[in-house]
Amino acid sequence: MTRALFREDSYLTSCTAKITEINELGGIVLDQTVFYPTGGGQPGDTGVLRLEDGREITIATTVKGKDADEVVHVPAEGQSLPEVGETITAEINWEVRHRLMRMHSCLHLLSAVLPYPVTGGQVSDGKGRLDFDLPEAALDKDEITEKLNDLISQNRPVSADWITDEELDAKPDLVKTMSVKPPRGSGHIRLIQIEETDLQPCGGTHVKNTSEIGRVRVRKIEKKGRQNRRVSLIFDE
């Protein structure tokens, strides 16, 4: 298993680690990492692994391994692989990750502004979207944009807490996202709280305060199937 340092502190940009395994596809497993693996609608981190002799291995993406506690760093094509047991420094591409954190946290605000069941969601660099189960919809782009920027400007703290699987089972209302199940199995689930705004299970990386998100704007609202409305956001900078 890989110790998930990004889950304890999403602002860590690098760490030292030991290579515990190189899998059959050339994926590199570490004993601990700051790299977030693809999941919950958030893409895996990119960055570099720096070897003690100064060589760098470019990491194209990060994914979960065969068990969910394992994080696999996927090298870009044509990299020479390190040895198991080597100590390296793992460093993420922080500029991209920070934008992902900002947009991911903003999607939590969107789910509070539009309090309907969420059927899917995706964050990518500079944009994000949520799909809502909403058959009769008169959603107004400008109104949603205004409500989001209002919450963002209120400097609301964002914090993480852990509960047990049993506690979550007793509170099914906490699970807003029907298609993205909260990470569980380890007996504990992480809750993300935006003060007086939103509380939901989530394993992704978040900013500390809504003001850090910056201005956003609803780019479009689309009808996806009979019941679904897709609301897409971008940064408004």
- Decide whether 2 or 42 has the Cβ nearer to Zn ion: 42
State the helix-helix crossing angle for 141-153 and 94-113, rounded to 10 degrees. 110
Shortest gap between Cβ of 5 and Zn ion (angstroms)? 17
Q: Is 207 in the site for Zn ion (CB under 5 A)?
A: no
3-state SS of 36-99? CCCECCECCCCEEEEECCCCEEEEEEEEECCCCCCEEEEECCCCCCCCCCCEEEEEECHHHHHH
- Decide whether 29 or 207 has the Cβ nearer to Zn ion: 207
- Decide whether 49 or 103 has the Cβ nearer to Zn ion: 103
Q: Is 204 in the site for Zn ion (CB under 5 A)?
A: yes
Shortest gap between Cβ of 190 and Zn ion (angstroms)? 9
Q: Is 41 in the site for Zn ion (CB under 5 A)?
A: no
Shortest gap between Cβ of 183 and Zn ion (angstroms)? 11
On whether the CB atoms of residues 70 and 39 are closer than 8 A, the answer is: no
Break the chain down into helix, strand, coil percent, rounded to 5: 20, 40, 40
Q: Is 202 in the site for Zn ion (CB under 5 A)?
A: yes
- Decide whether 44 or 204 has the Cβ nearer to Zn ion: 204
Q: Which residues bind Zn ion (CB under 5 A)?
A: 202, 204
